[in-house]
């Protein structure tokens, strides 16, 4: 096995001292231009890579960030993680990426790894307060993104779920819909609770009684949502419109409608919270509440670096905007 080049090897190859090579590579301190170029050329020829562990031990400064998301197969989390990565790289940080599958226990296990690898801070989509509590106990700065479990005790970057959901239902009511179903995975996390609240508020404002049978707890994956949607949409009193509280549930409802031979939007209108890539590719295109996942990730990194710089500052919650992307999956109720 070829030995990995060290900074000493670079110094020898460039004909300079180790301290000069270090200054040239880090950009800290004066080095003549021709000497800097000679050192950089030697480092490139030797394929020199700085030792992050050694740098941490010497400077006690980590240049890696932990990122913990629920499911990288879901485009929302994948694009969020990409946004974190892009923002982190521009600030000179690398990523330690982990996935927890929606498990609070798996989140704490990932947090233990982050502590062991001495990351500078963590961006997490939490499923309980446990992960934030654990990281805070070990003095690792943490930013909750998308969901909040430690409001007032931890920084967060979220969207206004309630207002966005209320606007969707108001739009459907404006099209004449009164039997509007809500497909939702949970109402205990801030995301589900706020989206459910927006649904209720819009119905109440329009004087439409809440029908518990139209609030469908439809599981955590496409197949579960598809099964629940099939049962509802084949009934004699099926809804004229469905609001799916996330992109996974929307896919399940879409598939169920196709299974039953129902036409969207002629037979049932459909709107999603979260705008997944497939929604603009199908016919008709699916109307959706769009979050800028990359912007969420970038905002989380900015907030995290501010927290690292000012660890004693009061916690801040950053509220990001959403927008409704209107496509062709809704229509007015036929008289």
Q: DSSP letter string over 37-63?
A: HHHHHHHHHTT----HHHHHHHH----
* Share of residues in the chain with pLDDT > 70 (%): 96
pLDDT in tens, 120-162: 999 999 999 999 999 999 899 999 999 999 988 999 999 999 9
Do residues 180 and 173 make contact, with C-beta atoms less than 8 angstroms apart? yes
Q: Which residue has the tokens 């499923």?
A: 127
pLDDT (0 to 100) of residue 223: 94
Do residues 36 and 25 make contact, with C-beta atoms less than 8 angstroms apart? no
Do residues 10 and 46 make contact, with C-beta atoms less than 8 angstroms apart? yes
pLDDT (0 to 100) of residue 213: 94
pLDDT in tens, 198-230: 999 999 999 999 999 999 998 778 999 999 999
CA gap 2, 162 in Å, rounded? 57
- Residue 214 sits at the vertex; the CA angle it makes with 261 and 206, to the nearest 5 degrees, is 115
- What does the H/E/C string look like for 114-129? HHHCCCCEEEECCCCC
pLDDT (0 to 100) of residue 218: 82
Please state, rounded to an integer, the average pLDDT across all residues of the chain.
Answer: 91
pLDDT in tens, 72-96: 999 999 999 999 999 999 998 999 9
Residue 5's pLDDT band (cuts 50, 70, 90): confident
Tokens of 152: 């007032």
pLDDT (0 to 100) of residue 57: 47
Kindly tell me if the per-residue pLDDT of 260 is higher than 90.
yes
Indicate the helix (H) or strand (E) that contains 288: strand 287-291
Do residues 285 and 253 make contact, with C-beta atoms less than 8 angstroms apart? no
Query: Is residue 184 classed as helix, strand or coil in its secondary structure?
Result: strand
Kindly tell me if the per-residue pLDDT of 274 is higher than 50.
yes
Do residues 118 and 139 make contact, with C-beta atoms less than 8 angstroms apart? no
Query: Among positive and negative, which fits the CA dihedral 180, 181, 184, 188?
Result: positive
CA gap 304, 282 in Å, rounded? 38
Do residues 73 and 251 make contact, with C-beta atoms less than 8 angstroms apart? no
Domains (ranges, CATH) in the chain? 7-50 (no CATH), 59-159+293-322 (3.40.50.2300), 161-291 (3.40.50.2300)
Report the DSSP beta bridge partners of residue 94. 64
Q: Helical H runs in the chain?
A: 7-14, 18-26, 33-45, 52-59, 75-90, 104-116, 130-137, 161-174, 190-205, 222-233, 247-259, 293-309
Nearest by Cα to 222 from 246, 243, 186, 191:
246
């Amino acid at each position: 096995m070829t030995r990995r080049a060290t900074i000493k090897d670079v110094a020898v190859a460039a004909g300079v001292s180790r301290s000069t090579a270090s200054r040239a590579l880090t950009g800290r301190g004066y080095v003549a231009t021709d000497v800097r170029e000679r050192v950089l050329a030697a480092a490139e020829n030797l394929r020199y890579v700085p030792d992050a562990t050694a740098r941490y031990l010497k400077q006690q400064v980590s240049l890696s960030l932990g990122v913990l998301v629920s499911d990288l197969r879901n485009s929302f989390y994948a694009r969020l993680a990409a946004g974190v990565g892009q923002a982190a790289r521009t600030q000179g940080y690398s990523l330690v990426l982990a996935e927890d599958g929606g498990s609070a226990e798996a989140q704490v296990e990932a947090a233990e790894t982050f502590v062991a690898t001495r990351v500078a801070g963590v961006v997490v989509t939490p499923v309980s307060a446990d992960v934030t509590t654990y990281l805070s106990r070990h003095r690792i700065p943490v930013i909750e993104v998308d969901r909040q479990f430690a409001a007032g005790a931890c920084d967060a970057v979220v969207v206004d779920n309630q207002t966005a959901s209320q606007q969707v239902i108001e739009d459907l009511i404006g099209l004449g819909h009164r039997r509007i179903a809500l497909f939702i995975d949970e109402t205990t996390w801030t995301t589900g609770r706020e989206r459910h609240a927006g649904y209720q508020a819009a119905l109440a404002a329009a004087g439409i009684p809440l029908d518990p049978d139209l609030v469908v707890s439809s599981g955590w994956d496409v197949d579960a949502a598809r099964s629940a949607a099939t049962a509802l949409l084949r009934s004699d009193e099926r809804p004229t419109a469905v609001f799916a509280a996330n992109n996974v549930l929307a896919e399940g409802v879409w598939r169920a409608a196709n299974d039953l031979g129902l036409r969207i939007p002629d037979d049932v209108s459909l709107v999603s919270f979260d705008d997944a890539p497939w929604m603009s590719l199908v016919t008709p295109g699916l109307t959706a509440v769009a979050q800028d996942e990359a912007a969420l990730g970038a905002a989380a990194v900015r907030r995290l670096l501010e927290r690292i710089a000012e660890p004693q500052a009061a916690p801040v919650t950053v509220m990001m905007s959403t927008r409704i992307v209107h496509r062709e999956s809704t229509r007015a109720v036929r008289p």
